[in-house]
Each structure stands twice: as C-alpha cells, then as structure tokens.
C-alpha cells in the first residue's frame, strides 16, 4: 500500500509532462477571455499584457538623438507638383444619360468593411446602368469581424447620393410594396429563383446581361449576393468606368454628423493649443525654423496593426512563446483551421514583405523620411494589437501623437462610438484632409485613400514592405545608411500618379479611367 501511495502522490517525469500538456490544452477552455480577440473580449494575458521591448534599439536611439535638417523638413512637407492629370470636365447638368423605363429592380447585399462596401456600391450602380435596372439602396451586411450593423443611411448621405446620380441611374430607397417579400430574411431561409449566388469575381458586363437580366425581366426583381468584387475592371465602356468614378468621388458623401466630427478633429490638429515654450528652446533658432515647416500641418497614420492582422500573417512580433501561443489560439478560434501557420520562416515572410509593420517600425520609417518630434501625427486605427504598450515606442519618437479620444470628448463621439464603420468613416474624412497620409500595410483603407488622394493630387506615402523588411533584418545597419536607403526607396512612392494596368483595380489607380490629361 505504501508503494501504491508513493507512486500515486509522486508521479514520475513522463506523468508530470502529460499533466502539464493536458493543463495547457484545457486552460483556454476554462479561461477563454485570457485568449480572447482584441476588441471583442478582454485583452489576452499571453500577448497584449506582455509587450516586447523595442526590436531595433540601435536605430531607435539614433533616431531619437538625430536632428532633422530644415532642408529635410521643407522637402518632406512640400506638396506634390502638378502631374499632368486633372478631373475630367463635368457634363452639363441638363444632360441626362438615364434611359427611359426600367427592366426591373436590382438588389445587392454587401459584406466586408467600410471601404470594401464602398467599392461594392460603385459596382452596384454600374451594374444597374448596364442592365437598365432600378437600383435599391444597397444592403450592408453585418461586419463579421467588428460586428457592425450600420446601414447605408447611417453612413452615407442618401439625399446627396440620389441627387448626384439622378441623371445617370434610377435609384430607390426601398422596393415597392408588391416586392416587399424580396428581403434579406427571405433569401436566408432557402434557395430562391430571384437570388443570384453564382456571379463570378470580376464578371464582365455580358455575364450580367445573359444571367441577371432574364431573371429580372421574369420576376421584376433580382438580388445578387454575394456581390463584392463582382464586376470586371477591364473592357467596359468609358461611360461605365466614369460612372463608377463619379459614385466613388462625388456621390458617396458621409452623413453630416460624421463630417462635423471629422472637421472638429481636423481643426484641432491644425490649430493645437499654444504650448508654453521652454526659454532655452526658444533661443534655439534652428529648432524654431524646424517647427515652422510643419506648423498647421499634420500626418495621418493608418497603423493597421490589429490582432486579426498579426495572427493572420503568422509573423513573429517579439512577444516570445506566449505571444505565439496566443496568436495560434486566436487563429484557431476565428478561422477554425482555415488559416494555418505559414510554412515559411519568419525571416522568409519578412523578405517577401508579408509581415505588417509594427508601430516601432513605422515610427522609424517616418523619422528616416525626415519627420521630427514636433510632427503632429493622427492615428487612424480601430484597435492596436498590444494597446498602449505597443504604441509607446512610436510615441517616444512622435510625442504629439493624437487620436479621436485625445482630441474630442465622449459626448462628441457618442454617435460613432462602438460602431466600426462609422469610426472608419471619420478616419477616412480626416485622412482626406491631411497634408500627408501613410498606411503601415496594404489593405482596403490603404487602397481607397491611395486612389482618392491621387485623384486630388495629395501626398500619400506607400511604404515599400520588401525594402523595409530587409533593412530591419540587418541588425548591424547604422542610422545614416538606414535613412539613405529609406529616402532612396521612397522618393517615387509619395503619391505620384501610376496608370492602371490590366486587371488592376480602378479603386486603387484612378488614371486613366477617372482622370483626363491636362
């Protein structure tokens, strides 16, 4: 019996290892919040609460101690020169290209975030034009990531939308009563002959004429779901391309309260409270000259470093085994095994430019481009993976870092708080008013603003992910060498017009489809 007791109460090494493994497996089941997604649950004790130290300390220390020159500041804030492209002349208001009559009603159901939905709205108007159909205001699906149920009317100014397009396409706010059965709920409960689920990605105009028009003519209505990216970018009449541009740049205006909040943020960024200057600082003429170059100006940084992005990339962000465990668990919970850890090593992923830039890395990029610690930086992001601890290095480089919460009261933000699409709309508005926009990683917001700002000839910095990854992997590189490589690699990535190539998106490259040569 004693032997049995000793064996029972003093397990051997293999048993202890088995018990430990079982504990690791069951721990997330009993304490799910510790592994929860940022923004949808409590922060994870295995990732956000254990922010890593700076990974590029030698570059950071050099950036903090290096003074930007006045010449650098003049160049970095200089607006883009005229590039030989302009907005195409407007047709006379009296001229209408809208055909008489209609072949029926067309409905579309749009998923994705704000900018993906904007692209879908532009395509929906174009498809209605192709089919000579009456478009019902697009239905915005609940965002699966941010759980936002905001409707078209809650984001966009409907009256403005209808007025801008009244001579182009017939649009109604809702279906007539005889078609009230054609609802989202109706299509969710079974297979319906009026719902088209087979629209191919980047379908040509002919596909809609052959597959959608007959259904619409038979039933009076046709509903297309899913609809995102369902219209080609190529081989369309110039009038259809121009119509998409008109929707994108003119018809889709945000509702007044979003524009008002955006304007408040812009005014506070351009006209900050007067800081009490240190007498010693005032006596430094060079410092004053530097500050003058950026006075009244600001940069918008779309950080795009949320937990979804970090987990999906399968990259290492310096948090050690705890972070890897948390991100692996997150991948399993959110994507149920559809997104596996990449077969590439972290270094291979970085060389390929597939790892999102961290707040520290985007800060070093900005510093190398010539922005100094008096630069006003507006952070346009929903949630930052790791929270303030992760942002702290960026804030050391740019202490005048602002966001919606630092610039406005909770009362001012009440109508948009907790609604990801409305918050993104505010950030989009502020981004369009900024002197310079930069996004840490490509994505729908990045592409939409690259396009819109190119259309307006505004400065937009596009980070070279592959170049920066190689530079950051070189741990012996000195600041002067790093800065020279950054400046050389980004001199043609600051908003210069690039003509759209075949299969490229009209919502990223506005010329030549949306613009005319001067």
Which sequence spans correspond to the domains of the chain?
53-61+69-83+258-270+295-305+356-517, 105-253
Q: Is the pLDDT reported for residue 158 higher than 80?
A: yes
Which range of 31-40, 313-322, 431-440 scores highest in mean pLDDT? It is: 431-440
Q: Is the pLDDT reported for residue 285 higher than 70?
A: no
- Between 18 and 395, name the one with better pLDDT: 395
Q: Is the pLDDT reported for residue 156 higher than 90?
A: yes
Three-state DSSP at 160 gives helix
Q: Find out whether 436 and 398 touch, Cβ atoms under 8 Å.
A: no
pLDDT of residue 409: 96
CA distances from 342 to 241, 250, 324, 366, 483 (A): 38, 41, 13, 29, 31
| 64-111 tens-digit pLDDT | 999 888 888 888 999 999 999 999 988 776 567 787 889 999 999 999
d(CA 227, CA 212): 13
| 81-94 tens-digit pLDDT | 999 999 998 877 65
Would residue 499 be called left, alpha or beta, if left means φ above 0 and alpha means ψ between -120 and 50 degrees? beta
Q: Is the pLDDT reported for residue 395 higher than 60?
A: yes
Question: b/e map of 365-389 (b: 16 or more CB within 10 Å)?
Answer: bbbbbbbbbbbbbbbbbbbbbbeee
Per cent of the chain over pLDDT 90 is: 66
Give the count of beta carbons closer than 10 Å to the beta carbon of residue 494: 16
CATH code of the domain occupying 53-61+69-83+258-270+295-305+356-517: 3.40.50
pLDDT of residue 442: 84
101 token code pair: 């009559």
236 token code pair: 């369309």
Three-state DSSP at 392 gives helix
The structure tokens 């994705």 sit at 112
Q: Find out whether 421 and 155 touch, Cβ atoms under 8 Å.
A: yes
Q: Find out whether 230 and 123 touch, Cβ atoms under 8 Å.
A: yes
**Nearest-5° Cα angle at 277, 271 to 278:** 160
Q: Is the pLDDT reported for residue 485 higher than 60?
A: yes
Q: Which helix (H) or strand (E) is 439 found in, with range?
A: strand 436-439
The structure tokens 């809609």 sit at 208
Per cent of the chain over pLDDT 70 is: 85
pLDDT of residue 10: 46
| Phi, psi angle pair for 326, to nearest 5° | -65, -45
Q: Find out whether 196 and 224 touch, Cβ atoms under 8 Å.
A: yes
pLDDT of residue 312: 86
d(CA 112, CA 71): 43
Sequence-distant (6+) residues with CB within 8 A of 193 are 215, 219
- Between 513 and 354, name the one with better pLDDT: 513
289 token code pair: 């000259």
> Average pLDDT, whole number, for the chain?
87
CATH code of the domain occupying 105-253: 3.40.50
Same fold, 53-61+69-83+258-270+295-305+356-517 and 105-253: yes
Find residue 87's DSSP bridge partners.
Answer: 515
| 169-211 tens-digit pLDDT | 999 999 999 999 999 999 999 999 999 999 999 999 999 999 9
pLDDT of residue 269: 97
pLDDT of residue 474: 94
Decide the pairing of beta strands 515-517 and 85-87: antiparallel
d(CA 117, CA 351): 32
Radius of gyration for the chain, computed over Cα atoms and rounded to the nearest angstrom: 26
Three-state DSSP at 196 gives strand
pLDDT of residue 3: 41
Positive or negative: CA dihedral 469, 349, 460, 361 = negative
d(CA 501, CA 512): 10
Q: Is the pLDDT reported for residue 28 higher than 60?
A: no
pLDDT of residue 33: 47
| Phi, psi angle pair for 319, to nearest 5° | -90, 5
CA distances from 468 to 3, 139, 355 (A): 63, 40, 10
d(CA 33, CA 29): 9
| Phi, psi angle pair for 86, to nearest 5° | -145, 170
**Weakest mean pLDDT among 122-136, 242-256, 369-383:** 369-383
Across 146-153, average pLDDT = 89
pLDDT of residue 302: 95
């Amino acid at each position: 019996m004693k032997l049995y007791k000793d064996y029972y109460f003093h397990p051997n090494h293999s048993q202890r290892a088995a018990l430990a493994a079982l504990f690791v497996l069951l721990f997330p089941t009993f304490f799910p919040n510790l592994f929860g997604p940022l923004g949808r649950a409590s922060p994870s004790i295995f990732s956000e609460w254990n922010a890593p130290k700076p990974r590029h300390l030698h570059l950071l220390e050099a950036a903090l101690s290096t003074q930007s020159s006045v010449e650098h500041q003049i160049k970095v804030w200089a607006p883009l020169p005229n590039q030989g492209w302009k907005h195409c002349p407007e047709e006379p208001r009296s001229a209408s290209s809208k055909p008489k009559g209609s072949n029926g009603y067309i409905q579309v159901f749009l998923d994705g975030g704000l900018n993906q939905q904007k692209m879908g709205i532009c395509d929906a108007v174009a498809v209605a034009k192709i089919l000579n159909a009456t478009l019902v205001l697009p239905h915005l699906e609940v965002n699966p990531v941010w759980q936002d149920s905001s409707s078209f009317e809650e984001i966009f100014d409907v009256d403005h939308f209808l007025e801008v397009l009244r001579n182009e396409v017939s649009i109604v706010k809702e279906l007539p009563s005889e078609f009230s059965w054609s609802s989202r709920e109706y299509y969710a409960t079974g297979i319906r002959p009026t719902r088209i689920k087979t629209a191919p990605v980047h379908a040509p105009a002919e596909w809609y004429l052959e597959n959608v028009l007959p259904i619409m003519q038979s039933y009076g209505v046709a509903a297309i779901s899913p609809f995102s990216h369902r219209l080609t970018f190529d081989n369309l009449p110039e009038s259809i391309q121009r119509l998409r541009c008109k929707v994108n740049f003119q018809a889709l205006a945000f509702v007044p309260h979003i524009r008002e909040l955006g304007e408040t943020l812009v005014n506070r960024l351009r006209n900050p409270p007067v800081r009490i200057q240190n007498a010693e600082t005032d006596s430094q003429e060079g410092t004053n000259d530097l500050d003058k170059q950026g006075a009244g100006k600001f940069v918008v940084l779309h950080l795009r470093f949320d937990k979804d992005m970090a987990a999906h990339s399968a990259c290492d962000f310096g948090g050690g085994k705890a972070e890897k465990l948390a991100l692996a668990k997150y991948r399993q919970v959110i994507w149920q095994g559809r997104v596996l850890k990449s077969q590439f090593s972290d270094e291979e992923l970085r060389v390929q430019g597939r790892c999102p830039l961290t707040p520290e890395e985007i800060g070093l990029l900005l510093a190398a481009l010539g922005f100094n610690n008096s630069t006003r930086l507006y952070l346009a992001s929903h949630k930052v993976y790791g929270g303030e601890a992760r942002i702290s290095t960026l804030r050391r480089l740019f202490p005048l870092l602002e966001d919606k919460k630092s610039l406005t009261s909770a009362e001012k933000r009440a109508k948009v708080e907790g609604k990801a699409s409305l918050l993104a709309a505010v950030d989009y508005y502020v981004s369009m008013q900024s002197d310079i926009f930069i996004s840490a990683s490509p994505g729908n917001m990045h592409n939409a603003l690259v396009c819109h700002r190119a259309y307006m000839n505004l400065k937009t910095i596009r980070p070279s992910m592959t170049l920066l990854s190689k530079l950051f992997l070189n741990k012996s590189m000195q600041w002067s060498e790093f800065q020279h490589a950054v400046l050389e690699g980004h001199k043609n990535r600051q908003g210069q017009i690039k003509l759209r190539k075949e299969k490229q998106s009209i919502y990223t490259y506005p010329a030549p489809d949306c613009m005319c040569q001067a």
